[in-house]
Amino acid sequence: NAGVTQTPKFRVLKTGQSMTLLCAQDMNHEYMYWYRQDPGMGLRLIHYSVGEGTTAKGEVPDGYNVSRLKKQNFLLGLESAAPSQTSVYFCASSHGQGWGTDTQYFGPGTRLTVL
Amino acid sequence: GQQVMQIPQYQHVQEGEDFTTYCNSSTTLSNIQWYKQRPGGHPVFLIQLVKSGEVKKQKRLTFQFGEAKKNSSLHITATQTTDVGTYFCAGYTGNQFYFGTGTSLTVIP
């Protein structure tokens, strides 16, 4: 039981390049989330999904897109990376008993640098 | 702006001293959760408080939810080196879930 996994662990991009971050969970969780973590800012929600085929915007969605084609996977895309998107990205999942009341299980994170 | 603020941002304590972090929201929260993130690690769930004025304990950790459900605190008694990390609160406003800015705890042996 791997829990929540993220690939890649590290990535360096040039401004304007695109990439996709993959999150996978094997706990059969309904809800999945993408956060970014910046010094002094805590974790900020980018997008989330309450089930396969559904996505919704979080606090800081601009510049990102997501897809949840399979229940166990949640993809985060950057179409044209900017230096302001340099951050550590965390994926999380939860059972789906209640938005905002579930325990969230986090992946190990992806450290992204945009030059 | 940031919905949930935590103070202090950083705290250095001698091992054995107590530690408290405070979480304040600009809006009323339905519930509050606390997470711990070890250096280089990912956030791990500690506890959830739901009721106004609720107090919960986990060994040396005491969690409190304010009467107005707009603030919360985490108190650690007699800190140990294993307590090192960043502590985050997170609250649900009814339509959005916000993490606090976090308090980074350093314990000096």
Residue A90 to residue B43, Cβ atoms within 8 A = yes
Pairing state between β B31-37 and B85-92: antiparallel
Please tell me which residue, B43 or B92, carries the higher pLDDT value: B43
Beta-ladder partners of A90:
A35
- pLDDT over threshold 80, residue A99: no
Counted across chains A and B, CB pairs separated by less than 8 A come out at 57
Q: Using one digit for the tens of pLDDT, what is the confidence trace for B58-95? A: 999 999 999 999 999 999 999 999 999 999 999 988 88
Residue B43 to residue A101, Cβ atoms within 8 A = no
Q: Which residue has the tokens 């993490």?
A: B99
pLDDT of res. A50: 93
Q: Using CA atoms, how far apart are residues B94 and B28, in angstroms rounded to an integer? A: 9
Q: Using one digit for the tens of pLDDT, what is the confidence trace for A4-60? A: 999 999 999 999 999 999 999 999 999 999 999 998 788 999 999 999 999 999 999
Whether residue B100 contacts residue B8, with contact meaning beta carbons closer than 8 Å, is answered with no
Per the structure block, which two tokens stand in for A57? 């915007």
Whether residue A17 contacts residue A86, with contact meaning beta carbons closer than 8 Å, is answered with no
Q: Using CA atoms, how far apart are residues A57 and A44, in angstroms rounded to an integer? A: 11
Helices and strands: H and E segment counts in chain A: 0, 11
Query: Which of A35, A37, A46 has the most B C-beta neighbours within 10 Å, making it the best mutation to test the interface with B?
Result: A37
Q: Using CA atoms, how far apart are residues A105 and A91, in angstroms rounded to an integer? A: 8
